[in-house]
Amino acid sequence: MLTIDLDRLHLAPGDRVLDLGCGRGRHTHALYWQDRPVHVTGLDLSESDVMATANGFFDLPPPPQSEQRSGTLTAGDAHRLPFRNDAFDAVICSEVLEHVGDPDGVLREIDRITKPGGKVALSVPRYWPEWICWKLSHGYRNTPGGHVRIFRHDQLHAAARRAGLRQTGHHWAHALHSPYWWLQCAVWDIREEHGLVRAYRRFLEWDLLKAPALTRGLETLLNPLMGKSVVMYFVKPV
């Protein structure tokens, strides 16, 4: 289940795209297998997540052959990206900035490696659903490698603008995930064994695999109200 709407990036065949903080590769894999062939690079601080992304390439059928399609993976630090200036036509940074020590520094790096006219997509947890999680559980916000800040919509916009990016649009995503995280935070210490948490997880897994019209339509209606993530789109001015 993607957080970023890839269609909003307006990618062209042969474009170079960075999935910054790729995690286990959901956006990296989607970019690699989409109809428009691109050169996608996935980068994450966690070597184990990079390996999980690599293994994911072998769990899916091969895409159509194309000289304009490739996938590259590397471990690295978002504060000091190992790429030249203007290296990418588009950069995705999904659910990363809430983890890093210097989000302004990361955004400056994103601006540096994005070509003039290139697209940038950022997503972070939405303020009020995240605030409820912090209030419900001390453990949630103090997990090693976890969230160290909560962004307001205007704060993220201002930070991206300071880095030199211009916003072109936004939306919210994953409304059905907000109650799941509230429930986990309410029973944080026993969340892995709690019956309601396990039942809700099975529901989300079923929804991911089956994508029934009822739940997809319900989430679309609820996203503006209680979407777990805010997703913002930018362009680097020419």
Q: What is the CATH number of the domain that holds 49?
A: 3.40.50.150
**What's residue 61's pLDDT?**
85
Q: Is 184 within the bounds of a domain?
A: no
**What's residue 144's pLDDT?**
86
**What's residue 25's pLDDT?**
96
**How many CB atoms neighbour CB 226 within 10 A?**
19
Q: Is 194 within the bounds of a domain?
A: no
Q: Is 65 within the bounds of a domain?
A: yes
Q: Is 214 within the bounds of a domain?
A: no
Instruction: Write the pLDDT tens digit of every residue in 82-111.
Output: 999 999 999 999 999 999 999 999 999 999
Give the count of domains, the chain: 1
Instruction: Tell me: pLDDT of 65 over 90.
Output: no
Q: Is 183 within the bounds of a domain?
A: no
Instruction: Write the pLDDT tens digit of every residue in 29-49.
Output: 999 999 899 999 999 999 999
> What is the distance between the alpha carbons of residues 74 and 85, in angstroms, rounded to a whole number?
18
Instruction: Tell me: pLDDT of 67 over 90.
Output: no
**What's residue 59's pLDDT?**
86
> What is the distance between the alpha carbons of residues 207 and 174, in angstroms, rounded to a whole number?
11
- How many Cα neighbours within 13 Å face the side chain of 203? 12
Instruction: Tell me: pLDDT of 150 over 90.
Output: yes
Q: Is 34 within the bounds of a domain?
A: yes
Beta-sheet pairing, 166-173 with 229-235: antiparallel
Q: Is 209 within the bounds of a domain?
A: no
At residue 222 the predicted structure's pLDDT band, cuts being 50, 70 and 90, is: very high
Residue 101: give the domain boundaries.
Answer: 6-127+136-174+226-235
Mean pLDDT across the chain, nearest whole number?
Answer: 96
At residue 143 the predicted structure's pLDDT band, cuts being 50, 70 and 90, is: confident
Q: Is 80 within the bounds of a domain?
A: yes
